[in-house]
Amino acid sequence: MKDISKATIDRLPLYLRALRMSQDEGLDVISSEELGRRLEITPEQIRKDLASFGQFGKKGVGYYVNELKHSISNILGLDNHWNIAIIGIGHLGSALANYHNFISLGFNLVALFDHDSSIVGKTVNHVKVTDIDVLEQTIKDLNIHIGIITVPGQFAQEVANRLVKSKIKGIWNFAPIRMKVPDDMHIVNEDLSIGLSCLSYHITRKPR
């Protein structure tokens, strides 16, 4: 497959969400113009993005909502039903564990890990918190594909190293550090402090 730009890939979930909302509204067909209006993206950009993955829709008609929704889900790999685990069940980890859209997106939350004895053994969203001492074996036993790191920064690299050693497929990192992982390890960093700082920058300079 030819290289696809990150910007194009980042827009696919937006298209998928808009299609799901359109389906909930009872729409069977949607044009690139209408999809673009809902997302504030030009119809030309939408058509160009989708053309990177094949031919979709019918000229003069538009896109069949259900068909395109399934196609984009397939492109994103959401039909693989990835098993995920959260490491660090503090406030952020608990909030993510209670995120109900994981299931609708095709992700299965199968494990939670922590080292705090006051947290281990508790249940969050029907999943029992397991001691991080058995992280590697649990990943193997439950066939976990994605690890979500929400531990404090000073412990995050060690957790990442253990996930890599366990041959996990991907890491979603919420710790405020840049991880050192092998080049073939897929990792997405979500630094909340950077996001808030950038927001502060923009609103500080907004004309009064």
Is residue 93 annotated as involved in ligand binding?
Answer: yes
Is residue 144 annotated as involved in ligand binding?
Answer: no
DSSP 184: T
Kindly give, in sequence order, each residue whose CB lies less than 8 Å from that of residue 185, ignoring residues fewer than 6 positions away. Answer: 164, 170, 171
Region of residue 185 (phi > 0: left; psi between -120 and 50: alpha; otherwise: beta): beta
Is residue 4 annotated as involved in ligand binding?
Answer: no
Is residue 91 annotated as involved in ligand binding?
Answer: yes
Whole-number Å distance between alpha carbons of 187 and 172: 6
Is residue 92 annotated as involved in ligand binding?
Answer: yes
In 10 A of CB 43, how many CB atoms? 14
Whole-number Å distance between alpha carbons of 144 and 139: 5
Long-range contacts at 34-42 (CB < 8 A, ≥ 24 apart): 34/62, 35/63, 39/14, 39/15, 41/11, 41/14
Among candidates 3, 13, 5, which has minimal Cα distance to 75? 13
Considering only CA atoms, give the Rg of the chain. Answer: 20
Is residue 153 annotated as involved in ligand binding?
Answer: no
Whole-number Å distance between alpha carbons of 113 and 108: 15
What residues are designated binding site?
A: 88-93
What residues are designated binding site for NAD(+)?
A: 88-93
